[in-house]
């Protein structure tokens, strides 16, 4: 039996890809009989997290028990980049970073990214081993520090919500008359690129599209207000349905009845929502940057859109609206791709084996 802890911000019940990954890992390790403590830090602004490195309470929580391994969600790097040095001196067990995305690889202002990069490099150099969610993430880390320690690429799965039970549903849905039903699943924050998506869709004829948006409205209220103003400004309110956060059967129903999954202007360390969409036979219109390209192949099971390339996005939507045979073909390929991917249990078992191997 291993004794472990996992350091996260906030709650494992948060509906984002990284938290889902961590939650599946915790459940799998506990199912295997291992003991794992969750050390939750309050989620605050980036600068406020830096003081956690000097927290006696946090240091005590990590040293009062003997852990075989300390797991850290890399999102917590500003709270740990100096503290890890103290843990090493204390003789704690190996520190393993679960890297969902390198923060400084996301598109943002050069100066702020430089700050993130400096702190991230110190943090990434302070850990002993890595769990990467994608080859793209591994390359981003290697570009910062080179990967000297043991590592594994354990890609997320898409089977959390299940999948369509019949390919006939894809065919019937594709030939349904009327506008294309587009779906966007992601928390309403700048990195998901919802505002430029709405600006692009507003360029299309109104009769060929309608968009359902699923995602938390609470994570960035200022950006949500911006999105709502944009919807009003572009006069697309009757074609855009802002649902808020949904999961389970409500989300399954939306995915089952949509035609296309659209998140072309985000930057994803992996893109779990895109993979889940493939399980419902939805072609993915995703970003060419980030890791979605690792499982979305242009003109096979979706399309990849360059940053701010509204013309390509509009072209593909017009084409698929007009050519329903092509829509069905790509939707069936999406379903095939989904079935070829590992399940959550398979991915978590590979991590379990990796962690046991670290302890020899």
Q: What is the pLDDT of residues 215-239, one digit of tens each?
A: 999 989 999 999 999 999 999 999 9
Do 127 and 195 have their domain in common? no
3-state helix, strand, coil split of the chain in percent (to 5) is: 50, 15, 35
Q: Which helix (H) or strand (E) holds 103?
A: none
- Whether residue 337 contacts residue 289, with contact meaning beta carbons closer than 8 Å, is answered with no
Mean pLDDT of the chain: 94
The pLDDT of residue 271 is above 90 = yes
Q: What's the pLDDT score for residue 239? A: 97
Residue with tokens 């089977």: 159
Largest CA distance in the chain: 66
Residue 46 belongs to some domain of the structure: yes
Q: Where on the phi/psi map is residue 189: left (φ > 0), alpha (ψ -120 to 50), or beta?
A: beta
Higher-confidence position of 205 and 64? 205
| Residues 182 and 109 both lie in one domain | no
* Domain-embedded: residue 144: yes
Residue 162 lies in a domain: no
Hey, what long-range contacts does 243-248 have (CB within 8 A, 24 or more apart)?
243/212, 243/213, 243/214, 244/214, 244/215, 244/216, 244/217, 245/15, 245/187, 245/214, 245/215, 245/216, 245/217, 245/218, 246/214, 247/15, 248/161
Whether residues 127 and 269 fall in one domain: no
Same domain, yes or no: 331 and 354: no
11: in domain? yes
CATH code of the domain covering residue 82 = 3.40.50.2000
Name the least confident of 66-70, 108-112, 348-352.
108-112
Specify whether 118 is located in the same domain as 203. Answer: no
Q: What is the token pair recorded at 119? A: 């702190």
Number of domains in the chain: 2
Digit-coded pLDDT (tens) for 315-350: 999 999 999 999 999 999 999 999 999 999 999 999
Residue 72 has pLDDT above 90, yes or no: yes
Q: Has residue 269 been placed in a domain?
A: yes
Q: What is the pLDDT of residues 21-47, one digit of tens each?
A: 999 999 999 999 999 999 999 988 899
| Residue 161, domain member (yes or no) | no
Domain co-membership, 296 together with 333: yes
- Are 315 and 234 in the same domain? yes
- Say if 351 falls within a structural domain: yes
Looking at the fold, whether 148 and 198 belong to one and the same domain comes out as no
Q: Give the pLDDT score at 62.
A: 87
Q: What band does 264 get if pLDDT is binned at 50, 70 and 90?
A: very high
181 and 47 within one domain: no
Let me know whether 80 and 178 are in one domain: no
Query: Quick one: 150 and 239 in the same domain?
Result: no
Closest listed residue to residue 295, CA positions, set 155, 162, 192: 155
Q: 261 to each of 271, 280, 359, how far by Cα in Å?
A: 12, 10, 42
pLDDT at 255: 98
CB contact set of 107 (below 8 Å; sequence gap of 6+): 267, 289, 307
Contacts of 323 (CB under 8 A, 6+ apart): none
Segments forming the whole domain that contains residue 44: 3-156+343-358
Q: What percent of the chain has pLDDT over 70?
A: 99
The verdict on residue 316 lying in a domain is: yes
Q: Cβ distance 344 to 159 under 8 Å?
A: yes
Q: Are residues 198 and 92 in the same domain?
A: no
- Indicate the helix (H) or strand (E) that contains 132: strand 129-132
């Amino acid at each position: 039996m291993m004794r472990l802890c996992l350091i996260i911000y906030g709650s494992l019940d948060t509906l984002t890809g990284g938290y889902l990954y961590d939650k599946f890992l915790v459940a799998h390790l506990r199912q295997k009989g291992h003991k794992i403590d969750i050390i939750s830090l309050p989620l605050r602004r980036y600068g406020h997290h830096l003081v956690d490195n000097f927290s006696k309470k946090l240091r005590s929580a990590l040293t009062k028990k003997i852990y075989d391994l300390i797991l850290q969600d890399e999102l917590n790097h500003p709270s740990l980049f100096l503290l890890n040095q103290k843990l090493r001196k204390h003789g704690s067990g190996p520190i393993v970073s679960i890297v969902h995305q390198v923060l400084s690889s996301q598109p943002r202002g050069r100066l702020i990214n430089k700050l993130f990069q400096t702190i991230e490099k110190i943090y990434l150099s302070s850990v002993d081993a890595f769990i990467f969610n994608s080859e793209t993430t591994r390359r981003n880390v290697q570009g910062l520090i080179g990967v000297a320690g043991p590592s594994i690429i354990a890609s997320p799965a898409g089977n959390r919500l299940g999948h369509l039970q019949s390919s006939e549903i894809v065919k019937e849905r594709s030939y349904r008359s009327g506008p294309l039903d587009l779906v966007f699943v992601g928390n309403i924050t700048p990195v998901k690129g919802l505002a430029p998506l709405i600006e692009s869709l507003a360029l299309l004829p109104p009769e060929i599209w309608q968009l359902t948006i699923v995602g938390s409205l609470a994570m960035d209220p200022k950006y949500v207000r911006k999105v709502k103003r944009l919807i009003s400004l572009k006069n697309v309110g009757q074609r855009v349905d802002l649902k808020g956060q949904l999961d389970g059967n409500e989300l399954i129903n939306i995915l089952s009845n949509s035609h296309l999954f659209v998140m072309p202007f985000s930057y994803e360390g992996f893109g779990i929502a895109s993979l889940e969409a493939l399980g419902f036979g939805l072609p993915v219109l995703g970003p060419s940057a980030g890791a979605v390209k690792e499982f979305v192949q242009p003109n096979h099971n979706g399309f990849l859109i360059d940053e701010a390339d509204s013309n390509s996005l509009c072209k593909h939507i017009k084409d698929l609206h007009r050519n329903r045979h092509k829509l069905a073909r790509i939707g069936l390929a999406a379903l095939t791709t989904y079935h070829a991917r590992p399940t959550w249990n398979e991915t978590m078992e590979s991590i379990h084996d990796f962690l046991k191997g670290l302890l020899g």
